């Protein structure tokens, strides 16, 4: 049971504060929370903190702190899940989650909280149930534009393509039940994978981990059955075998409780009865580790020359993109921590659209776009100051200087899934009366979670 | 907007709220009210416009109504007399044809939190319980709990309780769950809502109709149900099976806990469930949400305490990535330490070695200590890595490696040889660096350990028992087969099953003990260092043992706080003003080193105020200690010439026999052990 809920800006200003039970100190707890959080030593976890019989549990989301207090020994899993759900819900209703949108929509947020929690107990968090009760309309800062390129991330990646999905349409606020429904009928189905990889300094692969999700956003006015066909060779677990090829294999799958799996065993079809109106849900989650069907998207070949005597450090990085030649990676950024106090940088880059700079003790190499099959390189020279070591001898000659590496890459791979999983089709078993066919957007995207290469 | 003091703001808003032109324009009226709410959120005192807000509640605009009710619930405790004026409107709304309005009004009325409101809400609540709209029934059911708590310690209304029990059969799943919550609060004194067989099975059958929050909560309520037979038990477990596969981590963990508790007599069922929860836990460990990831890691460690091999094949999942926050990396390193086995030791050490040169010195230190921990089992590989690290000639690394070697030699005498062999080669390096002060320690025998460390060392030996201590200290060469402070025996699942899916694993058991003690005593200085930190050089004692360290001096709910050094003056004054609460004589023979005693006492948080020189007779020492409730213990130790006894006198500033006895037993243990050691 929750005593209080509040949202703080990244600077600790209270944006929302609600006391559900009136049993605890009052509103200065928000300030107390922020003080405790900022005063915490680095090795202690801020996730759960304690003060005078009260537990603070919080998540950070979009630069905001969403915090609950409770005096009971609650389930941390449920509470964190609730906080994430609240973040999604507020984002859905306000259009996006951020300091600006929250403070513009204070009334809406309170209205939502009032329906979601009563006396500190969760009542419902389902978007479509809440729609019946929410009366306030979201205040948005600017009108939606189909070609708004400013939104980044999942949908931003696609806008640079010729076949554009309306980038901001999927981030428009949920509309209350009484507002007019004249907008387009649209369904978004996204297969999103997060890739985390660790490569040893000798190039051997230490770890691959893919976390995937199929997300549905439906703005259809009337709901009836929806069928999602997945790759037929989709296998779950190490032992299952399907089709004649190597198959698409994942280790674990879980489905949203509303998914009907009658046709899953036979045809890999998910049936879904989305409730009426706007729906946002994660249809399926899956994960796989170690065996990827396709080569890794990037290989990095670093070579480091380090003259301890003069403090001269030369790093040559060659980056090869192993995607198919018709695919490409976007917003590629390489981050390489450097020894403390590195001062100068001279660079030679293999193409003009790249950029590299020294920032916060690290080298940042930006490659806006990398075509599959291509190879890019950069040569960086730096000076590492400090007392010149004795002429190198013994154990330290070969080693690169302390503090160099590991390199980490971040990127987005539009229209690519690392697991190979594809949505074959998305069928809607209904015709909205009088309206044109609904627009269906099926998109695939992989992005890096942690792609680390030891130097 | 120009900056206005809160008085000016209130004045301005008051004017706007009274302005008939604004009142006539729905949107403008609503906007002014929104501004009031916004200031309220920012912490400005808006109670000054209460009257105007009460007036604004009489409206057909439901958005405005909601805002006004929110306002009233916030300020009603400050303005109870004015809030009563709003009751009329609220009561009227409670019989509105629109169920949403009825529910809103009832919810707000029950949340007014002011004295005297009970008499007004009782009837609307009773009506609400029988409302045809489930939305209103939900509100009314929780309203019962609100009403009960408003009364304070009033007696339980039997009729209402019966009505709530019967509403457990309501069609609406949220009404059912709210009934459980409400009954739990109303019946708190009697131990909460009763889950008997019919109710338990009714709830189990309704589970699939509930949403994830309801499911998680019902799973928690079911923990208190005791199946009547083995057959029933397994029926229930079968029903619960599908919830282990839920996509909600809260439900999966709730179901896991219920399995663990129900199957407490069936270890194989418990193991089986822990195998099944592996997938969801690992998924949570690599979740996008750091917070969830952290909580999952804490639970992984909990499971590893009982099933050390449980996650060994998934060791890669616990490799750290560069961008993770510190507290997650530290947890992962701990997990890696605990799951290491013959198959993965090479890869795990390789990984940990990478962390040792991390830019963050704290993280590097944790990784080095972790390697030191693994060295107790895989000595050669680890010592080699540690030796190579010395070659980097980095001050912060060298210091920690030297410390790790020292700890290793102490804790794990069979490693001595490997360490000694490793050292000569890098002696030069150590002496080269600026921190050579520690190095001689390594190369000499235990008897020359620094005094402070010796105290620590003896104290740790106390944990293993007197006989082993004698063996180690009395034999010139340590027994190489003796594994000192090896990980304690695997703990049975049942020892922590009730802590699973609670905050206990997240805080750590030691920290949790402090917290619950604070809560019990209603007295707590949160700024005090955590008690676990008294195990001064942390890494020596892995988390597990820390808990044990704590348990030892802790018998009988005594918690001595560290670093409460009194001044000699203050001690003297207090000493003279108090009467002796306890006097005792312990056998004591021969010579000893007072420093050893002082250090051993210090580890259990007993400070030495003054002490005679070694060998002098009579020999005296004055000690002080303080527990977490502020109770002081002052002690005099006295050795008379020619006497083979140590006289102990203890004074206490609050007469509490129980804590006094605990304190004395701690003191006895320490003195007894020193005596044993030297004899």
pLDDT digits over B200-244, tens only? 999 999 999 999 999 999 999 999 999 999 999 999 999 999 999
Q: What percent of chain B has pLDDT over 90?
A: 36
Maximum average pLDDT range among A16-30, B86-100, B162-176: B162-176
* Predicted local confidence at residue B123, as pLDDT: 93
Residue B593 main-chain phi, psi, to 5 deg? -100, 115
Contact criterion met (CB below 8 Å) for A67 and A7: yes
* Predicted local confidence at residue B62, as pLDDT: 87
Whether residues B286 and A196 touch (CB distance < 8 A) is answered with yes
> Is the CB of B57 inside 8 Å of chain A's CB atoms?
no
Minimal Cα–Cα distance from B110 to chain A, Å? 10
Give tens-digit pLDDT for B29-54: 988 999 999 888 888 888 889 989 98
Q: What percent of chain A has pLDDT over 70?
A: 81
* Predicted local confidence at residue B153, as pLDDT: 66
Whether residues A15 and B41 touch (CB distance < 8 A) is answered with yes
Longest dimension (CA), chain A: 83
Of B34, B291, B502, the CB nearest to A75: B502
Residues in A closer than 8 angstroms to B327, CB to CB, are 42-47
Of B174, B294, B391, the CB nearest to A45: B294
Interval B420-441 mean pLDDT: 47
Minimal Cα–Cα distance from B305 to chain A, Å? 20
pTM for the complete prediction?
0.74
Q: Which chain A residue has the Cα nearest residue B355? A: A406
* Predicted local confidence at residue A206, as pLDDT: 84
β-pair type (A269-272, A345-349): unpaired
> Is the CB of A259 inside 8 Å of chain B's CB atoms?
no
Strand (E) or helix (H) holding B468 = helix B466-474
Residues in B closer than 8 angstroms to A396, CB to CB, are 391-393
User: CB-based contacts of A67: which residues, under 8 Å, 6+ apart?
Assistant: A4, A5, A6, A7, A8, A30, A33, A56, A57, A58
Interface of A with B in 227-256 (CB under 8 A): 251-252, 254-256
Which tokens hold the place of B244?
């282990």
Give tens-digit pLDDT for B294-337: 999 999 999 998 888 899 999 989 998 878 899 999 999 999 99
> Is the CB of A359 inside 8 Å of chain B's CB atoms?
no
Whether residues A43 and B321 touch (CB distance < 8 A) is answered with no
| Residue A265 exposed, middle or buried by CB count within 10 Å (0-12, 13-18, 19+) | exposed
Residue to test with chain B: of A78, A308, A337, most B Cβ within 10 A: A78
Does residue B556 register a pLDDT over 70? Answer: no
* Predicted local confidence at residue A153, as pLDDT: 40
Residue A46 neighbours by CB distance under 10 Å: 21
Contact criterion met (CB below 8 Å) for B359 and B344: no
Interval A399-405 mean pLDDT: 73
* Predicted local confidence at residue B197, as pLDDT: 94
Residues in B closer than 8 angstroms to A19, CB to CB, are 74
Interval A238-253 mean pLDDT: 74
> Is the CB of B419 inside 8 Å of chain A's CB atoms?
no
> Is the CB of A369 inside 8 Å of chain B's CB atoms?
no
* Predicted local confidence at residue A159, as pLDDT: 36
Residues in A closer than 8 angstroms to B294, CB to CB, are 45, 47
Give the CA distances from residue B409 to residues A387, B375, B431, B488, B539, in Å, rounded to whole numbers and listed in that order: 35, 10, 20, 19, 14
> Is the CB of A11 inside 8 Å of chain B's CB atoms?
no
Task: Tell me the pLDDT band of A404, cut-offs 50, 70 and 90.
Answer: confident
Which tokens hold the place of A112?
């939502």
Give the CA distances from residue B36 to residues A27, A106, B41, B58, B68, in Å, rounded to whole numbers and listed in that order: 17, 11, 9, 17, 9
DSSP string covering B329-367:
HHHHHHHHHHH--TTTHHHHHHHHHHHTT-SSHHHHHHH
Minimal Cα–Cα distance from B67 to chain A, Å? 7
Residue B447 neighbours by CB distance under 10 Å: 8
Spatial separation of the C-alpha atoms in residues A47 and A62, rounded to whole Å: 16
Does residue B437 register a pLDDT over 80? Answer: no
Strand (E) or helix (H) holding B80 = helix B80-93
Does residue B519 register a pLDDT over 50? Answer: yes
Whether residues A59 and B67 touch (CB distance < 8 A) is answered with no
Of B291, B317, B526, the CB nearest to A80: B291
| SS3 label, residue B422 | helix
Of A345 and B495, more confident: B495
* Predicted local confidence at residue A184, as pLDDT: 62
Whether the bond between A406 and the residue before it is cis, its omega within 30 degrees of 0, is yes
Of A256 and B368, more confident: B368
Cα angle vertex B557, ends B555, B562, to 5°? 90
Which tokens hold the place of A314?
């030369």
Residue to test with chain B: of A30, A47, A177, most B Cβ within 10 A: A47
Interface of B with A in 25-44 (CB under 8 A): 34, 37-38, 41-43
Interface of B with A in 291-330 (CB under 8 A): 291-292, 294-296, 316-317, 319, 321-324, 326-328, 330
Of A122, A123, A198, the CB nearest to B319: A198
Exposure b/e, B277-298, CB count within 10 A at least 16 = b = bbbbbbbbbbbebbbbbbbbbb
Average pLDDT, chain A: 81
> Is the CB of A46 inside 8 Å of chain B's CB atoms?
yes
* Predicted local confidence at residue B478, as pLDDT: 31
Kindly indicate whether the ipTM for this predicted assembly is greater than 0.95, answering yes or no: no
């Amino acid at each position: 049971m929750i005593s209080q809920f509040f949202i703080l800006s990244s600077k600790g200003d209270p944006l929302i504060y609600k006391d559900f039970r009136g049993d605890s100190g009052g509103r200065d707890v928000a300030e107390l929370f922020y003080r405790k959080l900022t005063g915490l030593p680095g090795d202690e976890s801020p996730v759960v903190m304690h003060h005078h019989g009260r537990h603070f549990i919080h998540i950070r989301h979009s630069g905001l702190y969403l915090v609950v207090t409770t005096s009971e020994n609650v389930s941390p899993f449920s509470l964190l899940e609730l906080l994430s759900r609240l973040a999604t819900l507020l984002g859905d209703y306000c259009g996006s989650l951020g300091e600006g949108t929250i403070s513009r929509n204070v009334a809406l947020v309170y209205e939502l909280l009032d329906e979601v929690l009563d006396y500190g107990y969760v009542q419902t968090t389902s978007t479509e149930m809440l729609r019946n009760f929410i009366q306030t309309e979201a205040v948005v800062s600017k009108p939606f534009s189909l070609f708004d390129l400013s939104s980044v991330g999942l949908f931003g990646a696609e806008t640079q393509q010729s076949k554009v999905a309306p980038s901001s349409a999927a981030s428009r606020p949920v509309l209350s039940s009484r507002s007019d429904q004249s907008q387009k009928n649209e369904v978004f189905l996204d297969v999103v994978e997060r890739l985390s990889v660790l490569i040893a300094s000798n190039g051997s692969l230490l770890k691959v981990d893919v976390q995937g999700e199929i997300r549905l956003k439906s703005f259809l006015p009337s709901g009836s059955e929806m069928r999602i066909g997945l790759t037929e060779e989709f296998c779950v677990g190490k032992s299952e075998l399907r089709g004649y090829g190597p198959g698409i294999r994942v280790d674990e799958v879980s489905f949203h409780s509303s998914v009907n799996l009658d046709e899953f065993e036979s045809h890999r079809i998910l049936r879904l009865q989305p409730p009426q109106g706007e729906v946002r849900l994660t249809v399926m989650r899956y994960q796989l580790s170690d065996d990827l069907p396709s080569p890794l998207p990037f290989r990095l070949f670093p070579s480091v020359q380090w003259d301890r005597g003069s403090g001269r450090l030369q790093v040559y990085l060659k980056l090869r993109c192993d995607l198919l030649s018709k695919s490409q990676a976007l917003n590629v950024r390489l981050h390489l921590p450097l020894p403390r106090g590195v001062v100068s940088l001279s660079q030679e880059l293999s193409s003009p659209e790249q950029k590299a700079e020294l920032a916060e003790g690290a080298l940042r190499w930006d490659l806006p776009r990398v075509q599959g099959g291509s190879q890019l390189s950069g040569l960086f020279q730096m000076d590492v100051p400090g007392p010149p070591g004795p002429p190198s001898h013994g154990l330290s000659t070969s080693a690169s200087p302390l503090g160099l590496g590991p390199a980490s890459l971040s990127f987005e791979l539009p229209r690519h899934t690392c697991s190979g999983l594809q949505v074959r089709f998305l069928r809607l078993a209904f015709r909205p009366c009088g309206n044109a066919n609904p627009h269906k957007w099926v998109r695939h995207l992989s992005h890096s979670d942690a792609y680390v290469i030891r130097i | 907007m120009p900056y206005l003091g809160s008085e000016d703001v209130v004045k301005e808003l008051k004017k706007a709220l009274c302005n008939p032109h604004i009142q006539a324009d729905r949107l403008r009226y609503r906007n002014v009210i929104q501004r009031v709410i916004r200031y309220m959120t920012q912490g400005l005192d808006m109670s000054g416009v209460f009257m105007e807000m009460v007036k604004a509640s009489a409206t057909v605009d439901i958005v405005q109504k909601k805002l006004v009710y929110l306002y009233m619930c916030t300020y009603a405790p400050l303005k109870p007399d004015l809030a009563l004026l709003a009751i009329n409107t609220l009561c009227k709304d409670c019989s509105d044809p629109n169920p949403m309005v009825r529910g809103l009004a009832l919810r707000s009325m029950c949340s007014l939190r002011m004295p005297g409101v009970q008499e007004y809400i009782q009837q609307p609540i009773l009506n609400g319980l029988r409302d045809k709209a489930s939305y209103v029934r939900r509100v009314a059911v929780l309203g019962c709990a609100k009403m009960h708590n408003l009364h304070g310690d009033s007696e339980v209304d039997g009729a209402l309780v019966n009505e709530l029990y019967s509403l457990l059969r309501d069609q609406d799943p949220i009404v059912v769950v709210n009934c459980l919550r409400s009954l739990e609060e109303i019946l708190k004194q009697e131990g909460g809502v009763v889950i008997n067989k019919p109710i338990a099975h009714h709830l189990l059958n309704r589970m699939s109709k509930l949403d994830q929050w309801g499911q998680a909560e019902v799973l928690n309520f079911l923990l208190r149900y005791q199946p009547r037979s083995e057959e029933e038990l397994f029926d229930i477990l079968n029903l619960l099976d599908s919830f282990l596969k839920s996509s909600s981590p809260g439900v999966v963990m709730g179901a896991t806990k219920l399995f663990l508790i129900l199957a407490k007599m069936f270890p194989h069922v418990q193991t089986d469930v822990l195998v099944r929860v592996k997938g969801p836990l690992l998924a949570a460990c690599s979740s996008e949400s750091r917070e969830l990831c952290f909580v999952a890691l804490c639970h992984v460690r909990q499971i590893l305490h009982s099933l050390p091999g449980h996650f060994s094949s998934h060791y890669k999942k616990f490799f750290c990535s560069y961008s993770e926050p510190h507290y997650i990396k530290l947890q992962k390193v701990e997990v890696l330490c605990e799951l290491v086995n013959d198959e993965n030791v090479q890869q795990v050490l390789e990984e940990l070695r990478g962390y040792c040169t991390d830019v963050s010195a704290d993280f590097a230190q944790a990784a080095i200590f972790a390697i030191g921990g693994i060295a107790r089992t895989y000595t050669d590989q680890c010592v080699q890595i540690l030796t190579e690290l010395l070659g980097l000639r980095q001050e912060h690394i060298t210091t920690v490696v030297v410390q790790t070697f020292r700890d290793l030699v102490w804790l794990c005498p069979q490693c001595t040889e490997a360490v000694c062999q490793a050292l000569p080669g890098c002696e030069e390096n150590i002496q080269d660096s600026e921190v050579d002060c520690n190095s001689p320690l390594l190369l000499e025998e235990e008897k020359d350990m620094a005094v402070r460390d010796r105290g620590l060392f003896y104290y740790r030996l106390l944990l293993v028992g007197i006989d082993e201590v004698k063996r180690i200290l009395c034999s010139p060469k340590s027994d190489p087969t003796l594994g000192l402070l090896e990980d304690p025996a695997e703990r049975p699942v049942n020892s922590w099953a009730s802590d699973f899916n609670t905050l206990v694993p997240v805080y750590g058991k030691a920290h949790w003990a402090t917290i619950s003690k604070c809560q019990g005593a209603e007295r707590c200085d949160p700024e005090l260092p955590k008690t676990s930190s008294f195990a001064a050089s942390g890494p020596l004692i892995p988390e597990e043992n820390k808990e044990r360290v704590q348990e030892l001096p802790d018998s009988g709910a005594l918690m001595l706080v560290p670093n409460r050094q009194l001044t000699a003056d203050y001690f003297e004054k207090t000493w003279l003003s108090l009467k002796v609460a306890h006097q005792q004589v312990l056998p004591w023979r021969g010579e000893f080193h007072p420093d050893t005693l002082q250090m051993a006492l210090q580890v259990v948080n007993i400070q030495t105020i003054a002490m005679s020189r070694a060998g002098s007779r009579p020999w005296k020492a004055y000690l002080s200690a303080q527990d977490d409730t502020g109770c002081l213990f002052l002690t005099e130790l006295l050795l008379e010439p020619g006497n083979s006894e140590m006289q102990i006198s203890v004074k206490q500033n609050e007469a509490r026999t129980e804590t006094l006895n605990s304190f004395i037993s701690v003191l006895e243990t320490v003195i007894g052990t020193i005596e044993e050691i030297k004899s």
